[in-house]
Amino acid sequence: MVANYLFGSSISAIQAQAKAFEVISHNIANSTTPGHKAETSTFEELVVDAGRVRGNVFPALRGASNVVRRDVRAEGGIQNTNGSLDLALSGRGFFLVNTELDGSGTTLLTDSGQFQRRIVENAGVEEVYLTDNVGNFVLGFPFDAATETFTTVTDTSGLVPIRLDAGGDSFQAVASTQSFIDANLPPDSATGEFFDVGLTIFDGTGAADGIADRHNVTARFTKTATNNEWTLEFFGDNATITAPAAPVTVTFNADGTLNVPPSVDLAITFTDSGGSIATTVDISDMRSFAPEFVLTEAGSNGFEEGDLVASRFNQRGELEGIFSNGQTRNLAKLAIGDVVNPELLAPVTDTHFILSGLNGDLQIFEADINGRAQIVTGALEGSTVDLGEELVRMIETQRAYSSAATTLRTVEELLKTATDLKR
């Protein structure tokens, strides 16, 4: 019936406003979702549908249609959380994540920096990785401990999932090569009187042998009969001192400053671990003043092998590992991705997007290098939803919906009246 087309405008308007209600409801529900990009509902008139007219004007009267757009480029406010793995990205770009651990899944872009630890069984071994709030694996540049540099790449194939468990990274043991003693020896000490200084020496053999890398070595200063003269010799538990082969003579000037030697070469073989080290013991800050022995400081470089016990991000996007031996070292660095036109990204969820083929090439960069983006630690980027605007849109949409419904009733009454007149 030709008159049925009179319902088209009001029905399409009701459908469009219903879709607008759906968009508003979805935005309000995600007003507190970190990284959520708000949608907006706009309308376009469908006055003429050239494909359907074909000499009949009625199919062309199609009313209105709803168009939903999402402002991907918009940024939500930065909200402090103090979470150790919470990150906000200010400026251009997105965090990069992948749906699969081995990188075979889909690479997604997101502003949601609500990261967490996820336990994954990989080849029968439980491993811990950094993931986003929906379980995707966060991608970053790997760190080369040997060169102490990050391996930067220009495509996602060179990025790696960031691992957080102790099995994924350890701090290799380093043998002591430099030691020092800073102490005061009283010049009026009796001949034969001695003072011991303890040194902690690391043999660098690591934990694989089951023997501690840390060893106690004693430096003994013994007063001789000669004025301002002492001897220095070394002793070690389960250790053989191979150098110096004999006690070293240490002399001081009349003003109490050290004369010779400024340092002593020390070589030790440890009988329990089998490790051997050669370290130079710096004694140039030694002095000889009355009235008593004072040990100011003594120590060595080197350290034991350490397991990863904690991690934290810094504002450069670097994930720093804290190890059981007290050392810290970088583990990885977050990779940031960007495209020429973010508005053309295809949404997968409200916070995650993929390339649509209309964005151009994915650009990968480091946040702290070119100034395009800044990482804020212990914070999250909030939703771009403005509740005030959504409430205004809700009132406007409700009135528009009511108007469309009134139009529908009016058309219905007109047709009923026409029908009654015909009868």
Place of tokens 């092998």: 305
Q: Which of 237, 266, 300 is the last residue of a domain?
A: 300
Looking at the chain, the number of H-run helices and the number of E-run strands are 3, 31
Q: Which of 261, 284, 300 is the last residue of a domain?
A: 300
In a domain, 251, yes or no: yes
Residues 347 and 266 in one domain: no
pLDDT at 400: 80
- Order of strands, edge to edge, in the sheet holding 276-282? 239-243, 263-270, 276-282, 178-184, 294-300
pLDDT at 1: 47
Q: Would you say 226 and 240 are in contact if contact means Cβ atoms under 8 Å apart?
A: no
Q: Which residues make Cβ contacts (< 8 Å) with residue 226, sequence separation at least 6?
A: none
Q: Which residues make Cβ contacts (< 8 Å) with residue 50, sequence separation at least 6?
A: none
How many distinct structural domains can be found in the chain?
A: 3
Give dist(CA 286, CA 288) in Å, integer.
7
3-state SS, 19-47, equals HHHHHHHHHHHCCCCCCCCCEEEEEEECC
Residues 143 and 234 in one domain: no
Name the pTM for this structure. Answer: 0.73
| Pick from 101, 211, 217, 118: nearest CA to 160 | 101
pLDDT at 59: 47
Residues 392 and 375 in one domain: no
Residues 393 and 331 in one domain: no
C-beta neighbour count of 156 within 10 angstroms: 15
- 3-state secondary structure (DSSP) of residue 336: strand
In a domain, 143, yes or no: yes
Q: Would you say 85 and 98 are in contact if contact means Cβ atoms under 8 Å apart?
A: no
Identify the bridge partners of residue 303 per DSSP, sorted by sequence position. 174
Q: Which residues make Cβ contacts (< 8 Å) with residue 90, sequence separation at least 6?
A: 75, 78, 373, 374, 375, 376, 381
Residues 48 and 145 in one domain: no
Give dist(CA 77, CA 277) in Å, integer.
55
In a domain, 237, yes or no: yes
Give the structural domain span for 191: 178-300
In a domain, 159, yes or no: yes
Give dist(CA 40, CA 348) in Å, integer.
17
Residues 216 and 118 in one domain: no
In a domain, 172, yes or no: no
What is the DSSP pairing of strand 178-184 with strand 276-282?
parallel
Write out residues in the chain with pLDDT < 50, as ranges.
1, 58-60
Angle at CA of residue 218, ends 215 and 222, nearest 5°: 170
Give dist(CA 317, CA 95) in Å, integer.
11
pLDDT at 210: 84
In a domain, 392, yes or no: yes
Residues 267 and 201 in one domain: yes
pLDDT at 376: 94
Residues 260 and 353 in one domain: no
| Pick from 246, 243, 241: nearest CA to 271 | 241
In a domain, 279, yes or no: yes
Q: Which of 300, 334, 364 is the last residue of a domain?
A: 300
pLDDT at 166: 78
| Pick from 19, 112, 107, 4: nearest CA to 58 | 4
Residues 156 and 115 in one domain: yes
What Å distances lie between residue 143 and 34, 89, 246, 350, CA to CA? 29, 21, 45, 32
Residues 142 and 32 in one domain: no
- Which CATH number belongs to the domain containing residue 214 in this structure? 2.60.98.20
In a domain, 173, yes or no: no
Residues 19 and 64 in one domain: yes
Residues 388 and 376 in one domain: no
